[in-house]
């Protein structure tokens, strides 16, 4: 039998502030779709998302056009 992995909760879930800082013109369609999936439409548009592996993967696909910062919550 395999043991289930235990998740460690070290406080409240972390959040990320994600901003689109460059245009997606000239990049392939998949990268534009990822930006839309994050909720980014125009340059300098900004969203706040929960930190998780899905969001991190999307950020890594288009990291060259984003600015990402962690938000500390009290």
Q: Which structural domain range is residue 60 located in?
A: 15-71
Number of H helices, E strands in the chain: 2, 3
Q: Burial letters for 51-67: b for 16+ Cβ neighbours within 10 Å, e otherwise?
A: eeeebeebbebbeebbe
Residue 58 resides in a domain: yes
Q: What is the pLDDT along the chain (74 residues), one digit of tens a residue?
A: 555 565 666 667 799 999 999 999 999 999 999 999 999 999 999 999 999 999 999 999 999 999 999 998 76
**Residue 34 belongs to a domain:** yes
Q: Looking at residue 73, what is its pLDDT?
A: 74
**pTM listed for this prediction:** 0.80
Residue 72: the pLDDT is 83
Output the CA torsion sign for 12, 13, 14, 15: negative
Domain annotation covers residue 1: no
Q: Which two tokens stand for residue 63?
A: 């990291």
pLDDT at 40: 97
5 domain residue, yes or no: no
Rounded to whole angstroms, the Cα distance separating 38 from 45 reads 11
Q: Is 19 part of a structural domain of the chain?
A: yes
């Amino acid at each position: 039998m395999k043991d289930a992995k235990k998740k460690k909760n070290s406080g409240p879930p972390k959040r990320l502030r994600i901003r689109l800082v460059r245009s997606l013109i000239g990049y392939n369609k998949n990268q534009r779709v990822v930006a839309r999936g994050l909720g980014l439409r125009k340059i300098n548009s900004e969203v706040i998302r929960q930190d998780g592996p899905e969001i991190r993967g999307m950020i890594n696909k288009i990291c060259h056009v984003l600015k990402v910062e962690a938000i500390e919550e009290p």
